[in-house]
Amino acid sequence: MEKELNILKERLQEVNDLESASAVLAWDQATYMPPEGAAARGQQMATLGKLAHEKFTDASIGILLDKLRSYEKDQPYDSDDASLIRATRRQYEKKTKVPATFMAQFYQHTAESYVMWVKARPDNDFKAVQPLLEKTLELSRQLANFFPGYEHIADPLIDFSDYGMKASTVGQVFNNLRASLVPMVENITSQQPVDDACLHSSFPEDKQEAFFIDVVKDFGFNFEKGRQDRTPHPFTINFASSDVRFTVRYKLNDLSEAIFSAFHETGHALYEQGVNPKYDGTTLAGGTSSGVHESQSRLWENMIGRSRSFWEHYYPKLQDYFPAQLGDISMDAFYRAINKVQRSIIRTDADEVTYNLHVMLRFDFELALLEGNLAVKDLPDAWNARYKLDLGIEPPDNRDGVLQDVHWYSGPIGGSFQGYTLGNILAAQVYETAILAQPDIPNEIKQGKYKTLLTWLQDNIYIHGSKFTAPELIERVTGESLHVEPYINYLMTKYGELYAL
C-alpha cells in the first residue's frame, strides 16, 4: 500500500501548493496589491481554485482512497497514515457530493448578494437584500440536502466549519450558557458604567505596534516563520507551518483595537506555527475546526491578554510607551477599562460577556430559517425583538441590526457563527485543563513567561493539526466532551470580582 499512499501524498501536495499559492495571492490582495490589480488577481485566484478543485475531486483520488481502506483499518486510529486517509476521505466526500455546477451557481449568487449588501447596508435597505437572502436560504437548504441522513438540516452546514458538531449538541450547550449570561449582563449593566476614557486619547501607531510585537514575541510567535502587516480587517493566514502571517488594524483613539486584535490573531498564528511540519502539504495541515481555532485566539486574547495577571507584568511597559496618556492611570483603572461590559448592538465591538449573546441569537436564527420556522421577511423584527430580550437594547435601524455582519450575504445561512462561541467555551475548558496539568502556568504569566503554557498547547493541540475532529480533540485533551461550566466559572470569577456579582 506504500505505493498508493505515496501517490496520494504527491497529489495532495500538488493541491496544497495550489491552495497555498492562492492564499499568498489573497494575502497580497489584502495587504500590498495596488488598487487596479484587483481584476487580474480575481482571475488568477479563480484559476488556482478551479485547478485545485479539479485535482482534488479527480476520480483517481477516490480510487486511491478505496484501495487504501484496508491499510487504513490496519493502522492505529491516531497514526499519521490512518488519519491522513480518514481526513482526506472526509474532504473528498464533502467536495464530490456537491456538483460543481451547483457550487458555481452558489458562488455566483453569493457574489451578487455581497455586492448588493455593500450598497444596502449604508442605505439601511433590508428590502434590497431580502430576495437575495431568500435565495441564499433556498440554496443553503439545497446544499445541506446533498448530505442526506442528517439529524438537523443545519448539521451538514455546521460540518463545513466545525466537523462533528451537531445543531442539537451546540444548541443545548448554547442554551445553558445563555441561561447564565442574560442575568449576568442584566446585573452588570444595572451598575454604574466603567470609565474607559483612558483608552480613548491618542496613541501613535508605531508605539502600539512596538508594544504588541514585544508581547507576541513573549507569547512565542516566531518571526522567522511569520510576519505581521496592516489591513482594514485583521486576519491570520498560512502558506505552511513555517510561513504564518497575521494582520492588525489600528485606531489612533482606541488603544484596545490593535493590541487585542494582535493578541487574538497571534492565538490563531501560534496554532498554525505549532502544527507538525510533517503535515505540511497534506490534508492534516492547519487547525482542525473553526471552533478549536477560535478557542486559541480567544485564549490568548482574553484569558491571557485581558487578565489581571498579564497586565501586572505588562502595564508598566505599556505606560513606558505612553507616559503622557497612561502615566497617571492606575493599573486597576486600566484593567477595568479593558474589561468594561455594556449592552451593545454590534457583535464585533462587544465585550467578553455580551459577545456570546450576539453569536447565539444568530445561531438560533440560522436554525429557525433553515427549519422554515422563520421567514426571511420577518427576520428584522425577530432580530430586534431578540436583542431587546437578550441584551436589553434594540438596534436603531437594520444597518446596525440584521445587516451588520457580512456572513449571510457572502456565504450560506447555517454554520456561520457557532464557531465564535464554541471557541470561547472551549478556551475555558482547555485552559482549565492546562492549569491542572501544569500548575505553574498562572505564576509564570505574572512574570510574562509563556513557555510552559505554549508547550502544553503545542503538545496537546497544535501539533495534531487536522488529525482529529473537534469532538475527538476535546475528548483527548480534556477527557470530557464540550461543556460550558469552565467558561461560566471563568466569567463568574473574573466579572464577579470586577462587578461584585
The residue among 277 and 448 lying less far from a second copy, judged by its C-beta, is 277
**Sign of dihedral through CA atoms 97, 101, 107, 110?**
negative
Binding to a second copy (CB under 8 A) within 425-464 occurs at none
Compose the 249-288 pattern: x for residues touching a second copy by CB under 8 A, - for all others: -------------------------------xx-------
Q: Does 407 bind a second copy (CB under 8 A)?
A: no
The residue among 18 and 85 lying less far from a second copy, judged by its C-beta, is 18
Interior/surface letters 93-109, b for 16+ CB within 10 angstroms, e for the rest: ebebebeeeeeeebeee
Task: List Cβ neighbours of 102 (8 Å cut-off, separation of 6 or more).
Answer: 142, 143, 146
The residue among 20 and 295 lying less far from a second copy, judged by its C-beta, is 20
Going by the DSSP 8-state scheme, the letter that residue 302 receives in this structure is: I
Q: How far is the CB of 242 from a second copy (least distance, A)?
A: 4
- Kindly report the three-state secondary structure assignment for every residue of 457-501: HHHHCHHHCCCCCHHHHHHHHHCCCCCCHHHHHHHHHHHHHHHCC
Q: How far is the CB of 55 from a second copy (least distance, A)?
A: 9
The residue among 47 and 330 lying less far from a second copy, judged by its C-beta, is 47
Catalytic one among 19, 257, 265, 352? 265
The residue among 107 and 150 lying less far from a second copy, judged by its C-beta, is 107
Burial status of residue 372 (CB atoms within 10 A of its CB: 0-12, 13-18, 19 or more): exposed
CA atoms of 312 and 333, how far apart (whole Å): 12
Q: How far is the CB of 466 from a second copy (least distance, A)?
A: 17
485 included as an active-site residue:
no
Q: How far is the CB of 176 from a second copy (least distance, A)?
A: 42
Compose the 43-82 pattern: x for residues touching a second copy by CB under 8 A, - for all others: xx-xxx--x-------------------------------
173: three-class secondary structure by DSSP? helix
Compose the 2-41 pattern: x for residues touching a second copy by CB under 8 A, - for all others: -----------xx--xx-xxx-xx-xx---xxxxxx-xxx
Q: Which residue, among 461, 466, 472, 458, has the nearest Cα to 85 in the 3D structure?
A: 466
Q: Which residue, among 156, 262, 251, has the nearest Cα to 219 in the 3D structure?
A: 262
Q: Which helix (H) or strand (E) segment is 107 a member of?
A: helix 100-123
Q: How far is the CB of 8 from a second copy (least distance, A)?
A: 16
CA atoms of 93 and 162, how far apart (whole Å): 16
345: three-class secondary structure by DSSP? coil
Q: How far is the CB of 2 from a second copy (least distance, A)?
A: 22
Q: Give the number of residues in contact with a second copy, rule: CB under 8 A.
A: 40
Give the binding site for a second copy (CB under 8 A). Answer: 13-14, 17-18, 20-22, 24-25, 27-28, 32-37, 39-41, 43-44, 46-48, 51, 222-227, 229, 239-240, 242-243, 245, 280-281
Q: Catalytic site residues?
A: 265
